[in-house]
């Protein structure tokens, strides 16, 4: 398990973490971004997951995670999503 403080809007950070994480917990970050930044953040987070990886966001951010590569797993109190099977095979 690794904890790090990073600038999530830094493009250089995202280049080094593609396909690296089993789980990303990103709660209450997307709601503070404008729509375009939130969409890009979801793409970056999804690309950073391993093929069987999970993304967890706060319940109020569920509507922001509408990437076609993600599928909702549970409907309570936090929102979880997993990469779709199609996306797993393409990596």
At 1-25, the pLDDT tens digits run 777 788 888 888 888 888 999 988 8
Give per-residue pLDDT as tens, 65-76. 776 677 777 665
> Is 0.85 surpassed by the pTM of this model?
no
Boundaries of every domain in the chain: 16-90
CATH class name, domain 16-90? alpha beta
Helices (H), 1-91: 11-15, 35-48, 85-90
């Amino acid at each position: 398990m690794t904890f790090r403080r990073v600038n999530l809007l830094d493009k250089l950070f995202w280049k080094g973490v593609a396909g690296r994480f089993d789980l990303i917990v990103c709660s209450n970050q997307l709601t503070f971004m404008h729509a375009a930044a939130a969409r890009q953040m979801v793409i970056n987070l999804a690309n950073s997951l391993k093929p069987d990886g999970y993304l967890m966001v706060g319940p109020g951010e569920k509507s922001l995670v509408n990437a076609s590569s993600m599928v909702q797993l549970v409907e309570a109190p936090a929102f979880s999503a997993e990469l779709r099977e199609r996306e797993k095979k393409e990596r």
